[in-house]
Amino acid sequence: MTAPLPIKTVATKPFADQRPGTSGLRKKTRMFQQPHYLANFVQSIFASLEGFEGKALVLGGDGRFFNREAIQIILKMAAAAGFGEIIVGRGGILSTPAASAVIRHEQAFGGIVLSASHNPGGPDADFGIKYNISNGGPAPEKITEAIFAHSKVIESYRTLEGPDVNIDEIGHSWLVGTKVRVIDPVAIYRDLMASLFDFDAIKKLFASGFTMKFDAMSAVTGPYAKAILEGDLGAAPGSVLNGEPLPDFGHHHPDPNLVHARHLYDLAMSDAAPDMCAASDGDGDRNLVIGRGQFVTPSDSLAIIAANAHLAPGYRQGIAGVARSMPTSRAADRVAAKLGVGMYETPTGWKFFGNLLDAGKVTVCGEESAGAGSNHVREKDGLWAILMWLNILAARQQSVKEIVRAHWAEFGRHYYSRHDYEEVATEGANALVAGLRAKLTSLPGQSFGALKVEAADDFAYHDPIDGSMSKQQGVRVLFADGSRIVYRLSGTGTSGATLRVYIERFEPDPARHDLETQAALADLIALAEQLAGINQHTGRDKPSVIT
């Protein structure tokens, strides 16, 4: 052990804007680079926790610009706060699901993950930080609100004087009485995947000529995908694209959607299509799956995973239940009903699944925002979803397209699309939502062409496990034919407001499963504008992103 470093108390003043959103505190990188900004938030996290002295904290991030500097600030503050051990991914790298896996595997007190997820990285882009609790999942609102409350009154924080810690070599060192252990960021996660999926069957699939392109988008999943897909499973070298994590993500926008991963969609629809195209986001928790000639919507992916999970060894005993966020299509509900298992509808945000998973009520969860996962960790997990698909393909010996088509034929198809109006003025967005809320009681019973409103509400969630209540989670307009329009404001943006409009129509007839999605939803799309006055409130005559 080296000589103790002096602990110092630094005087600071509160920043008014440190309220964590859907997934931690996310801001422009330059905000975080202001003196004391990150330290204030970290001290507010520690001030909101009890009983961590002598216990372990997991620390890592997606490698974006400012990741390394932030790791050093947090290492010193966590040591000054009295953690017994800090477990940090080599180079400061841990994907979000890997961080969750490490927290659980090491029975740590909690963890800090540095990421702004799918937002771009760099000095002019975004940075973020979130705290995860001992089950490996995002902190519940009780803690995030305590963090915010403390951030508004903070007067000082504690840290250590001294040189930076070497985080680039596996091994350990000491900061005062705190052990800093640098671990391989991939190993624990990789073993977990091998325990859940039939690696031998997937190996055979690749050996038989199955082809795949996985785009890591120069973000955190590169090392994980190379080790597992190309290493353990024998995917051809070069199957992983953009596999080196870069601080600016190589100027990719690491959001695996149909805008930023358009090249994969185009490839999957071309004559040169591999059997599967896939991608993940900046911090590795989202997924995109496209088969040859067949895009899989995240909502359909959840339903298909729920219906087929028993084909993977880790889920052979069947699933206990399914959970989805409210705006996610109701395709999974039909699977849960057929399996006779529980179905839970939660607000947007993975944190709402934690209690249900801990209580054993559900095994798989998913969100329309390209997230799927299970009880193996307490975050959504991009590579997990892709490995689950590979396992299903290997077990069923069918293509992605055949599996999707068969699913629709059995359960019906939920045509589904999300229209985003990004970076609109906050005032206009709030006025739009207020206008909708004012209409809620008068809408039921009204007809608009063939569409008759059956019910309308502002979604509220009563957590069946801890009894907490989350109100105003999105305006829902439900129609008699099973169609639905949902409006909500994003909780993850970093400037202005983002309005999301979710449009869904159920089609039981297989003869009508081949329509183009926007065309199949055209009357609902027009009605969404008519009901909310989107153009009037936002000044936009069309969405900035359609997924």
Radius of gyration of the chain (CA): 23
Is 369 assigned a catalytic role? no
3-state helix, strand, coil in the chain (%, to 5): 35, 25, 40
The enclosing H or E element of 149 equals helix 141-151
- Residue 410 half-sphere exposure toward CB, CA atoms < 13 A: 16
Q: Which is nearer to ligand G6P, 348 or 538 (CB)?
A: 348
Query: Which residues in the 128-187 window bind Zn ion by CB under 5 A?
Result: none
- Cβ atoms of 189 and 95 within 8 Å: the answer is yes
- Contacts (Cβ under 8 Å, ≥6 apart) of 519: none
d(CA 272, CA 261): 17
Q: Which is nearer to ligand G6P, 199 or 459 (CB)?
A: 459
Min dist CB 286 to ligand G6P, Å, is 7
Closest residue (Cβ) to Zn ion?
A: 117
The catalytically annotated residue of 48, 100, 115, 117 is 117
Min dist CB 300 to Zn ion, Å, is 20
Size of the site for Zn ion (CB under 5 A): 4
> Which of the choices Zn ion, ligand G6P, none does residue 490 contact, using the CB cut-off of 5 to 8 A by kind?
ligand G6P
Q: Which is nearer to ligand G6P, 24 or 291 (CB)?
A: 24
Min dist CB 500 to ligand G6P, Å, is 6
Q: What is the DSSP string of 404-453?
A: HHHHHHHH-EEEEEEEEEEEE-HHHHHHHHHHHHHHTTT-TT-EETTEEE
Point out which residues pair with 499 in neighbouring strands: 421, 489
- Cβ atoms of 72 and 105 within 8 Å: the answer is no
Give SS3 for 157: strand
- Measure Cα distances from 356 to 322, 343, 419, 462, 530 in Å: 9, 10, 29, 12, 37
Min dist CB 60 to Zn ion, Å, is 14
Q: Which is nearer to Zn ion, 126 or 281 (CB)?
A: 281
> Which of the choices ligand G6P, Zn ion, none does residue 283 contact, using the CB cut-off of 5 to 8 A by kind?
Zn ion
117 binds Zn ion per the rule CB under 5 A: yes
198 binds Zn ion per the rule CB under 5 A: no
Give SS3 for 114: strand
Query: Which residues in the 471-530 window bind Zn ion by CB under 5 A?
Result: none
Of 285, 333, 368, 420, which one interacts with Zn ion (CB under 5 A)?
Answer: 285
Name which of 19, 38, 25, 57 is nearest 133 in CA terms.
Answer: 57
* Residues lying near ligand G6P in the complex (CB under 6 A): 22-23, 117, 325, 348-350, 367, 369, 371, 490-492, 500
> Which of the choices ligand G6P, Zn ion, none does residue 349 contact, using the CB cut-off of 5 to 8 A by kind?
ligand G6P
Name which of 18, 20, 21, 28 is nearest 495 in CA terms.
Answer: 28
> Which of the choices ligand G6P, Zn ion, none does residue 355 contact, using the CB cut-off of 5 to 8 A by kind?
none
48 binds Zn ion per the rule CB under 5 A: no
Name which of 368, 284, 355 is nearest 325 in CA terms.
Answer: 368
Name which of 143, 121, 122 is nearest 24 in CA terms.
Answer: 143
Min dist CB 366 to ligand G6P, Å, is 10
- Cβ atoms of 287 and 280 within 8 Å: the answer is yes
Q: Which is nearer to Zn ion, 113 or 485 (CB)?
A: 113
> Which of the choices ligand G6P, Zn ion, none does residue 215 contact, using the CB cut-off of 5 to 8 A by kind?
none
Alpha helix ranges (H) inside 48-132: 67-81, 96-105
Q: Which is nearer to Zn ion, 281 or 420 (CB)?
A: 281
Q: Which is nearer to ligand G6P, 347 or 428 (CB)?
A: 347
280 binds Zn ion per the rule CB under 5 A: no
381 binds Zn ion per the rule CB under 5 A: no
Min dist CB 370 to Zn ion, Å, is 9
- Which stretch, 116-124, 201-209, 263-271, 406-414, contacts Zn ion (CB under 5 A)? 116-124
Q: Which is nearer to ligand G6P, 22 or 483 (CB)?
A: 22
Min dist CB 501 to ligand G6P, Å, is 11
d(CA 478, CA 327): 12
Min dist CB 472 to Zn ion, Å, is 24
Of 198, 215, 275, 281, which one interacts with Zn ion (CB under 5 A)?
Answer: 281
Active site residues: 117
Chain residues binding Zn ion by CB under 5 A are: 117, 281, 283, 285
